[in-house]
């Protein structure tokens, strides 16, 4: 039985078990993380597992995200330049959709290589052995084989360790697969099948559209998340609301092409409908779970941040406005008077009649503007610059949010997460951050490891719209070609990126890894140190910033 003290919906579990071991890691995350208590992380998981078997706890406590790594491609196209190239009115992509850049891959990268890269980066950053992973789940909608999962390709990374005892395969439903993989992995850790090891969740996609109005909403990337007990970011139990329906808003029936068939307007409407339904269910569950003193309604005020699956940033701002409209419709007359002055004329409207009501949209986007700036906008850093990554999108928002907050602002916060995958599958769930931000704590370590995101975004190469279009044409014409040897430039990839070496006549793919080379040896870059590192030591300079956080204390500057 667990009890929860409610402090404006921040939760403190009172029967928290004594931490099996307090983590104190050295702060530079590119090294193997060292503990001051002499235990390694496997020892800790074994202790927790033993406790469970002895019946001290019904399930492992505080199951959630222990660490996150992100990978995005080294190429991007500028959306302003794309507007000119596509001959659309100035501002359509940048203001109308809210996008500034779009990441994309050459034919050197596919879904397998993206996931190989991000998994290896996470394992390396964390100093883990592949033996410590007991479950690996992949969420993706980028399908290159109708039978063989991306997960099985990732097992190549485990080969040397001899660990083949790794559960999990791929989950697919448009952009929702990553969330399905996350829920499966958390459930595994909480289940009788758990063997005391970590789960690894991978979400990756290459989002490309045929020429036309959907193309500027593409993107690409991958996320890896380490899942286990005593996590700094916990999935709140019992607080999750799902909405699923059969809709043809976006689907990929042509397996010879990377491009989806998309009914853009229907997808926007379906997204809004799913959001309304999930929020309604989430609020009801929250109200039941936390019977507050005299407080009737769960509202956006009870969340410290609200993050969304982000096809394009403008939709997210409208979505926060939409949740504020939901709060308005559920508010009491007293609240209406106090908080929603001037909006009374919308009181009688029904949610389902307002998906494209511009007046309502504008009124509640305006009303929620301050809330958007504080609770949502910080999560859009990567989405604005990389675009829609599909399955990793929501988790890239989490990375952006953590990276852009001060560590002092993170303890104890509750973050709402809305996951949407066309077709459709959607869930609204919540994450609760730990209170501990002491030196060496997991949350501080995670926060620190994400501090180089802006630097990594800035170190990408801008490609002209014309070359971008040609690269997409090449991808399209060679997709599923066998045999095939890609022609994309290997030297343009970030250090440590896995890439497609070739596809043989039987469609079997082989991959190689771009090895990191210190700048000084490659083309005369010098390394100056930059990032905020508590113990600024191990800086190694690379011409591009590796996806693995490197502890730098000044910025990298070419000479």
Ligand X SMILES: CC(C)(COP(=O)(O)OP(=O)(O)OC[C@H]1O[C@@H](n2cnc3c(N)ncnc32)[C@H](O)[C@@H]1OP(=O)(O)O)[C@@H](O)C(=O)NCCC(=O)NCCS
Strand partners, 557: 526
Q: Which residue in 26, 99, 185, 217 binds ligand X (CB under 6 A)?
A: 217
Strand partners, 261: 251
Q: Which of 11, 175, 278, 533 is catalytic?
A: 175
Reference 324, options 295, 309, 296, 346; nearest CA is 346
Known catalytic residue: 175?
yes
Q: Which of 278, 309, 313, 533 is catalytic?
A: 309
**Candidate segments 7-15, 86-94, 164-172, 292-300, binder of ligand X by CB under 6 A:** 86-94
- Contact between 179 and ligand X by CB under 6 A: the answer reads no
Q: Which residue in 15, 89, 192, 293 binds ligand X (CB under 6 A)?
A: 89
Residue in this structure with the two tokens 């999560």, named with its chain if needed:
379
Q: Which residues contact 265 (CB under 8 A, 6 or more apart)?
A: none
Identify which of residues 175 and 403 has a Cβ nearer to ligand X in the complex.
175
Question: Is 314 assigned to a binding site?
Answer: yes
Other CB atoms within 10 A of residue 55 CB: 7
**Candidate segments 7-15, 133-141, 237-245, 265-273, binder of ligand X by CB under 6 A:** 265-273
Other CB atoms within 10 A of residue 238 CB: 10
Reference 410, options 445, 384, 385; nearest CA is 445
Known catalytic residue: 480?
no
CB of 398 to ligand X, least distance (A): 18
**Candidate segments 35-43, 63-71, 211-219, 461-469, binder of ligand X by CB under 6 A:** 211-219
Supply the DSSP string of 281-339, one letter for each residue.
HHHHHHHHHS--SS-----GGG-SEEEE--SSHHHHHHHHHHHHHHHHHHS-HHHHHHH
- Contact between 490 and ligand X by CB under 6 A: the answer reads no
Q: Which residue in 186, 262, 351, 386 binds ligand X (CB under 6 A)?
A: 262
The two most distant CA atoms of the chain are separated, in Å, by 71
Question: Is 267 assigned to a binding site?
Answer: yes
Q: Which residue in 100, 129, 131, 213 binds ligand X (CB under 6 A)?
A: 213
Per rule CB under 6 A, count of chain residues that contact ligand X: 20
Residue number with the shortest CB distance to ligand X? Answer: 96
Q: Rounded to an integer, what distance in angstroms lies between the CA atom of residue 501 and that of residue 107?
A: 10
CB of 314 to ligand X, least distance (A): 6
Strand partners, 419: 427
Question: Is 213 assigned to a binding site?
Answer: yes
Radius of gyration of the chain (CA): 23
CB of 207 to ligand X, least distance (A): 9
Q: Which residue in 48, 189, 201, 268 binds ligand X (CB under 6 A)?
A: 268
- Contact between 261 and ligand X by CB under 6 A: the answer reads no
- Contact between 422 and ligand X by CB under 6 A: the answer reads yes
Q: Which residues contact 526 (CB under 8 A, 6 or more apart)?
A: 519, 520, 541, 557, 558, 559
Identify which of residues 216 and 541 has a Cβ nearer to ligand X in the complex.
216
Q: Which residues contact 499 (CB under 8 A, 6 or more apart)?
A: 108, 109, 113, 486, 488, 490, 493, 511, 512, 513, 514
Other CB atoms within 10 A of residue 550 CB: 27
Query: Is residue 128 a contact partner of residue 163, using CB atoms and an 8 Å limit?
Result: no
**One character per residue 310-339, x = contact with ligand X (rule: CB under 6 A):** -xx--x------------------------
Known catalytic residue: 543?
no
Measured in residues, the chain has a length of 559
- Contact between 271 and ligand X by CB under 6 A: the answer reads yes
CB of 464 to ligand X, least distance (A): 21
Active site residues: 141, 175, 309
Query: Would you tell me which residues interact with ligand X (CB under 6 A)?
Result: 89-92, 95-97, 213-214, 217, 262, 264-265, 267-268, 271, 311-312, 315, 422
Binding residues for CoA are: 213, 267, 314, 318
């Amino acid at each position: 039985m667990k009890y929860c003290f409610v402090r404006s919906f921040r939760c403190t579990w009172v029967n928290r078990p004594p931490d099996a071991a307090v983590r104190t890691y050295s702060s530079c995350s590119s090294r193997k993380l060292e503990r001051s208590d002499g235990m390694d992380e496997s020892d800790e998981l074994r202790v927790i597992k033993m406790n469970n078997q002895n019946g001290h706890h019904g399930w492992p406590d505080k199951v959630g995200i222990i660490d996150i790594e992100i990978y995005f491609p080294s190429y991007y196209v500028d959306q302003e330049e794309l507007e000119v190239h596509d001959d659309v009115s100035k501002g359509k992509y940048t203001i109308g959709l809210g996008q500034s850049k779009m990441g994309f891959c050459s034919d050197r990268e596919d879904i397998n290589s993206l996931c190989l890269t991000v998994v290896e980066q996470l394992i390396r950053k964390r100093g883990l052995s592949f033996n410590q992973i007991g479950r690996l789940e992949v969420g993706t909608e980028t399908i290159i084989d109708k039978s063989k999962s991306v997960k099985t390709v990732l097992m190549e990374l485990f080969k040397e360790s001899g660990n083949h005892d790794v559960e999990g395969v791929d989950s697919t439903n448009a952009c929702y697969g990553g969330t399905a993989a996350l829920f499966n992995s958390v459930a595994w850790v909480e289940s009788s099948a758990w063997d005391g090891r970590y789960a690894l969740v991978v979400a990756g996609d290459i989002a490309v559209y045929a020429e036309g109005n959907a193309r500027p909403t593409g993107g690409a990337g991958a996320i890896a998340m380490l899942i286990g007990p005593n996590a700094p970011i916990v999935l709140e139990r019992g607080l999750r609301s799902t909405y699923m329906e059969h809709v043809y808003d976006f689907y990929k029936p042509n397996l010879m092409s990377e491009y989806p068939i998309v009914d853009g307007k229907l997808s926007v409407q379906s997204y809004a409908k799913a959001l309304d339904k999930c929020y309604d269910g989430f609020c009801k569950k929250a109200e039941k779970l936390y019977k507050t003193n005299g407080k009737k309604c769960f509202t956006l005020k009870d969340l410290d941040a609200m993050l969304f699956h982000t096809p394009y940033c403008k939709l997210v701002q409208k979505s926060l406005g939409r949740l504020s409209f939901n709060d308005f419709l559920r508010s009491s007359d007293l609240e209406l008077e106090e908080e929603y002055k001037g909006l009374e004329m919308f009181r009688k409207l029904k949610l389902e009649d307002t998906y494209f009501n511009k007046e309502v949209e504008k009124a509640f986007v305006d009303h929620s503007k301050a809330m958007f700036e504080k609770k949502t906008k910080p999560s859009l850093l990567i989405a604005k610059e990389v675009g829609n990554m599909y399955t990793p999108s929501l988790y890239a928002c989490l990375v952006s949010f953590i990276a852009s907050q001060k560590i002092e602002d993170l303890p104890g916060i509750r973050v709402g997460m809305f996951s949407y995958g066309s077709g459709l599958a959607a869930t609204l769930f919540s994450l609760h951050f730990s209170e501990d931000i002491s030196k060496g704590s997991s949350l501080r370590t995670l926060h620190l490891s994400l501090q180089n995101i802006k630097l990594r975004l800035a170190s990408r190469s801008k490609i002209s719209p014309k070359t971008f279009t040609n690269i997409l044409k090449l991808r399209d014409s060679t997709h599923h070609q066998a045999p095939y040897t890609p022609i994309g430039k290997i030297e343009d990839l970030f250090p440590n990126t896995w890439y497609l070496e070739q596809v043989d006549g039987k469609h079997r793919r082989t991959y190689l890894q771009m090895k990191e080379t210190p700048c000084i040896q490659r083309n005369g870059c010098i390394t100056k140190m930059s990032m905020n590192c508590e113990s600024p030591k191990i800086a190694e300079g690379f011409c591009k910033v590796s996806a693995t956080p490197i502890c730098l204390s000044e910025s990298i500057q070419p000479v």
